[in-house]
Amino acid sequence: MIIDNPKYTTDYFSLKDQCFVDQTQKISKSLFTTQSFDAHTQNEICLPIHLNEYQPVLPDIYPIPARTKWAFEDGFFRKIKKNINLSKGLTFESCLKNSRRLLKSTKGKIAVEVSGGLDSSIIIGILVMLGYEPVLIGTISELYKFRTEKHIQEIISNRFKHVILSNSFSMQFTNLIETPPHFLPCYASLHHSIAANTLQSLKEHDIKYVFQGTAFDMMLTASVDNNANDIRFPNLQDDWMHDYVFAPQGSAYVDVAALTPIKRMLISLRNGQAQDNQKWWARKFFARVIPPELSNYAYKANYGPVWWDGLLSSSEQITKIVDTAWEITALPIFENFKMQSIFDGMNNGSGRVGYALLGYANWIHALHKADRLID
């Protein structure tokens, strides 16, 4: 059986019915079981990149990523794709040439999320060198942990006409009661408010594409030894923001390094490189397009304090959402919920388990609020 999703958003396939399902259909409350919750938690911990790794949260239903084709035979999925063949002899100039070719396919204005970190700075630097003037949008923070990012944000922002910076770090986990209804639970739904705020800020600029650099964390750090097709990115849930926040408004949330041509180029350039958690190779290779603070020094921000503050400020809404999930499902995991359990998980290294609980509860609440549940 061939499963083909030619769309630019995730679609959902039922193995039982052998067809794609209606994502707006109502979901039976009887499907919210311990088995379903455990499957979701496993997905959030393991972050599957292949359908064979995915644990169905709804019976026999699988998320099929945008623009992918799969074969299902003898109980196993096989991704039908062209292997990423590595190129030899790539230079910085050929990198620019390949990027220019890809950018020609974009029909509309471009914005870039500017974090003050290496990944977004590379994207911005390449665009500038190619003659593009993107709108910069990002979040700022007065926290000591983010002093370097703020400094670099200021250096970069001073060179551009259109810059939108807001103190949106405080929006982590906020406004969850307005989460759009979504077909399957996902951790990213807990941060929808930041994406929605980004989109709202860009309306006056008529932006079509928002570039971001999440995939660089894998492409610029993973060990590469002629194993391009083994790089574990993207995972099956990475397109949530695009699918449920940007695409419905006619925009695209583009993870630049996950695009096949860029992924192929970066992995080819890094072939033979060992694990590089500080991204020293990239800091040197892209030195001419990034601030010297990034090419000469390495640092890593700690997002824990930001998430902690967001959870604290949103604790009332979070408790309400989990209580709603308990009333609808009667699952023991939601009974007598206490916010402290989330903080304890963050402290002992099991934070994703707590986020999985919140993601599942947020999914149920969003469906309930949209009248998408049936008895």
Could you tell me the end-to-end alpha-carbon distance of the chain, in angstroms, rounded to an integer? 33
Instruction: Decide if 347 contacts 354 (C-beta within 8 A).
Output: no
Note the pLDDT tens digit of each residue in 113-133. 887 788 889 999 899 888 888
pLDDT over 70, % of the chain: 92
> For residue 116, is it left (φ>0), alpha (ψ between -120 and 50) or beta?
left
Q: Is the pLDDT of residue 144 over 60?
A: no
What is d(CA 257, CA 216) in angstroms, rounded to the nearest whole number?
6
Note the pLDDT tens digit of each residue in 309-332. 778 888 899 999 999 999 999 999
Return the pLDDT at 363: 98
Q: Is the pLDDT of residue 191 over 60?
A: yes
Return the pLDDT at 99: 84
User: Strand pairing of 68-73 and 2-5?
Assistant: antiparallel
Return the pLDDT at 278: 86
What is d(CA 174, CA 172) in angstroms, rounded to the nearest whole number?
5
What is d(CA 178, CA 200) in angstroms, rounded to the nearest whole number?
15
Q: Name the DSSP letter for residue 84.
A: -
**DSSP-based three-state secondary structure for 150:** helix
What is the CA 314 to chain-centroid distance, rounded?
Answer: 21
Note the pLDDT tens digit of each residue in 235-253. 788 899 999 999 999 899 9
Lowest-pLDDT range of 109-123, 140-154, 210-224, 269-283: 140-154
Per-domain boundaries in the chain = 2-80, 92-296, 312-374
* Fold (CATH) for 92-296: Rossmann fold (3.40.50)
What is d(CA 15, CA 1) in angstroms, rounded to the nearest whole number?
10
Alpha helix (H) residue ranges in the chain: 34-46, 92-103, 118-129, 147-157, 192-202, 216-219, 240-241, 260-270, 280-285, 292-296, 304-313, 315-329, 340-348, 351-369
For 276, phi then psi, to 5°, come to -140, 75
Return the pLDDT at 297: 76
Return the pLDDT at 168: 58
State which of 15-24, 215-224, 263-272, 344-353 shows the largest mean pLDDT: 15-24
Return the pLDDT at 105: 76
Four-residue CA torsion sign, 339, 345, 351, 354:
negative
Note the pLDDT tens digit of each residue in 36-80. 999 999 999 998 888 999 999 999 999 999 989 999 999 999 988
